[in-house]
Amino acid sequence: MAGIVAQNYGDALFELAQECGKTKEFKEVLTALGETLSSNEELQLFLKHPKIAKEEKKKVLKEILKQEDPYLVHFVMLLIDKSRFSQFSDIVKVFEQHYHVLHHIEVAYVQSARALSKDELQDLRAMLEQHTGKTIEMRTSIHPELIAGVRIKIKDEVLDNSAAKRLEKMKERVINTTL
């Protein structure tokens, strides 16, 4: 759960995006920036380093965001100025929560033993949308220890149809069977 500071910044950013009529655009840019940060450890270290001047950090971020909405760029610069950029990922989570509520979207975390094909993902999304009655945004990851099948988490609900889970249940039944 995001702290109060991240909550306030996330709320403010979402309100700004709504006023601009650009909630989808802001979400896409924030997601892309978050992915860039998480995949680039050197950039993370640069932005977190206390001895690197804020102006240098802002210069790098402006270059990354040069084609983006000026309000969004200004918001990111504000995070640097106020020494709040360390909470960027939590702020994005708050923004995404608002976005999902507004657009009736549920996030499904899908783990599979292997990469799923586009058709499998499409079928799975359709099944989950029917199950939840909402639009599904899927976040997939590969977990070979599942052996086969999938494990899906939506909010607090876990649907586990993996071979590993079925083997675990079978083992429990064998152990609990009295002869």
pLDDT tens, position by position, 84-108: 999 999 999 999 999 999 999 999 9
Q: How confident is the model at residue 176 (pLDDT cuts 50, 70, 90)?
A: confident
Are 15 and 94 members of one domain?
Answer: yes
pTM of this structure: 0.79
Are 73 and 13 members of one domain?
Answer: yes
Domain coverage including residue 160: 105-176
Q: Which residues pair with 150 in a beta bridge?
A: 112
At 3, is the secondary structure helix, strand, or coil?
A: coil
User: Taking each helix axis from N to C terminus, what angle separates 88-102 and 4-20, rounded to the nearest 10 degrees?
Assistant: 50
At 113, is the secondary structure helix, strand, or coil?
A: coil
Q: How confident is the model at residue 147 (pLDDT cuts 50, 70, 90)?
A: confident
User: Taking each helix axis from N to C terminus, what angle separates 41-48 and 54-64, rounded to the nearest 10 degrees?
Assistant: 140
Domain finish residue from 101, 118, 151:
101
Give the span between the Cα atoms of 116 and 130, in whole angstroms: 20
Are 58 and 95 members of one domain?
Answer: yes
